[in-house]
Structure 1
Amino acid sequence: MSMETEIAASLEGSHDDGSSRVIKDVLAGTCGGIAQVLSGQPFDTTKVRLQSAPEGKYTGALDVVKKLMANEGFSGFYKGTLTPLIGVGACVSIQFGVNEFMKRMFTGRNIQAGMADTRLSSGQFYLSGAAAGIANGFLASPIEHIRIRLQTQTSVPLLYNGPIDCIKKMYVGSGFAGIFRGLNPTLIREGHGMGMYFLAFEALVKKDMSRNKIERKEIPGWRLCTYGAAAGYAMWFTCYPIDVIKSKLQTDALSKTSQQYSSAIDCAKKIYTTNGIRGFFRGFLPTILRAAPVNACTFYAFELAIRYMG
């Protein structure tokens, strides 16, 4: 085996052929996605209700929690969980699968260029994550739209009887485009957000391996959790306002004639007019509280699955 091949194999932590590696990346990403949903759904429900509620309905995150527990019980936090459990598993598998593919591609380019240090640069980590986010955004947008509609319904009888009924009513209200409402801000959030997400995690892993002279598989679990938490902060601190716009668009009226926002830009203008800069950070507290445990679980589950599959 040549030195270049040894370097590439070391970076990937595997000698598998390409197709086998992709399958393992996707399966491990699915494990990470399931861990993400189960650990993060209560935080996400709280965030979405704060983001999309009429002005004055809630005084803050704790008020949402108190009212939800009083009116709907603990199960209310897990409204709409089936859709993200299936969908987010698929989304995260795409994120990690594309990110790992892009990392291999950049590693190959670095080797072909004859670079003395073939390890990926910060820019390459960011571009790998951004590509993963954009690829995932087309699937994440309708999945999140359905989840948000289900999470925010509080009236009785319920407007939607489940994910399928929700899709039907969205289609009747605005056609196929209605299902993908909020796609553009989702792509922006996913592209930049995932770029920062994977950049933060991979940079910390790279530094750990270099500082301690160990392989990736030797990094202890508690440090992987710490790096995953940092990745979550890196993402949300840099892309949260666009997520607020997305949530506003996806909780707007179904019928085009009744919608409050004509576009993402129109939504941003109205948020600023009504609440100023603070309006772009509604629900930020539960999101940041969620970021550490959820992304720690996501990356830990992914890395453990990769190690288990070899």
Structure 2
Amino acid sequence: MSTAAISSTTVALPTTTLPKKNKAHVHPLTSLFAGAVAGGVEAGITYPFEYAKTSSQLRSQGKQGSAFQALRGVVATQGLSGIYTGCSALIVGTALKAGVRFLAFDTIKAQLADENGKLSTSGGILAGSVAGAVESVLAVTPTERIKTALIDDGKGAKRFRSTPHAVGILIREQGIAGLYRGLVSTTIKQSATSAVRMGSYNTLKTQYASYFGHAPKTTPETFAIGACAGLITVYATQPFDTIKTRTQSSQGETLVRAMKGVWSDGGVRGFWKGSGPRLGRLLLSGGIVFSVYERILSFLS
């Protein structure tokens, strides 16, 4: 047999196409670590906005002044440390929350994304919603309950000397269930927030790649997209956040009573109470969280 014939035979042999590796997959421990670090950094930087937002939602409509005027009043009477009341609880909770959120989101995304790692808008919303529900049960509800109770207590009875002290009193008086006061409202809020935030971020990032021909590469690019996702999230989900805060006050309110209280204090507009400080926080936090998360993933990979 001639060399040409051998060569022809070899070329004619069928080839096997290997499946493409799913680019959406991120190792679970990497997602957990990167998300936790990003969440902790963000919480520490943006906490004054969170304090202003929560404080304004707990005040009745009869009390005058904006959320930021209230901040100045707290600083004048209690010093700068006053606006960091409950901060440690939020840092721990946000670190755990963000770690769980990204872990759940990336895990679900890996299952829903196509072979090129692209996730549809509906897939992003679904993944974000499930991630929000998981983070609410595992991290958000107890830490938000403690933070909100500390802020509420600081404006009145001042029974709580510290975060551990507050935890001890709440458990002693209400049991473990006391730390999960507002679980339903918090889960609704977190599912909606995470669905909108993660879904909009994923969609904006995909649109950016389609327009510019490449995914966001620099920190300013990621920060801007994350901030836009934060802006969308605030106004789409603020009513859920306002109701959640009412159910997690130091005494706690039922879901129905919280909704009636918000309505009687401010009508329809009352459900968007605290949106200004929350917008300030989420514009920053959206940029910070996604930027830090993407940088850590890039570094570890």
TM value normalised by structure 1: 0.85
Distance 1:174 1:100 in 2: 36
Distance 2:267 2:156 in 1: 33
Return closer, same or farther for 1:274/1:153 CA change in 2, 3 Å cut-off: closer
Distance 1:235 1:72 in 2: 32
Runs of 4 or more consecutive aligned structure 1 residues displaced over 6 Å after TM superposition: none
Aligned residues: 285
Aligned residue among 267, 271, 274 for 1:276? 267
Aligned to 1:239: 237
How far does the alpha carbon of each residue in 1:117-153 deviate from its partner, in whole angstroms, 9 at most, with x for none?
7622100010111111000001200100101122233
Return closer, same or farther for 1:309/1:276 CA change in 2, 3 Å cut-off: same
Q: Is the 8 A contact 2:242 2:273 kept in 1?
A: yes
The offset of 1:212, in angstroms, is 2.3
Alignment of 1:99 with 2:105, yes or no, is yes
Distance 1:290 1:159 in 2: 28
Distance 2:262 2:208 in 1: 42
Instruction: Give the unaligned 5+ runs of structure 2.
Output: 1-15
Distance 2:130 2:278 in 1: 23
Distance 1:266 1:77 in 2: 28
How far does the alpha carbon of each residue in 1:267-294 deviate from its partner, in whole angstroms, 9 at most, with x for none?
2123213421122122111111222112
Aligned to 2:201: 201
Instruction: Give the unaligned 5+ runs of structure 1.
Output: 15-20, 112-116, 254-258
**Greater gyration radius:** 2
Return closer, same or farther for 1:279/1:157 CA change in 2, 3 Å cut-off: closer
Q: Is the 8 A contact 2:60 2:265 kept in 1?
A: no
Distance 1:156 1:187 in 2: 28
Return closer, same or farther for 1:3/1:200 CA change in 2, 3 Å cut-off: farther
Determine helix, strand or coil for the equivalent of 1:5. Answer: coil
The range that moved more, 127-136 or 49-58, is: 49-58
Amino acid of the structure 1 residue aligned with 2:84: Y
Distance 1:269 1:135 in 2: 28
Return closer, same or farther for 1:208/1:55 CA change in 2, 3 Å cut-off: closer
Aligned residue among 244, 248, 258 for 2:246? 248
Q: Is the 8 A contact 2:201 2:226 kept in 1?
A: yes
Q: Is the 8 A contact 1:188 1:242 kept in 2?
A: yes
Aligned to 1:17: none
Determine helix, strand or coil for the equivalent of 2:86. Answer: coil
The percentage of counterpart residues that share the same residue type is 20
Aligned to 2:279: 288
Q: Is the 8 A contact 1:50 1:58 kept in 2?
A: no
Distance 2:236 2:39 in 1: 21
Distance 1:303 1:155 in 2: 39
The range that moved more, 220-229 or 80-89, is: 80-89
Aligned to 1:309: 300
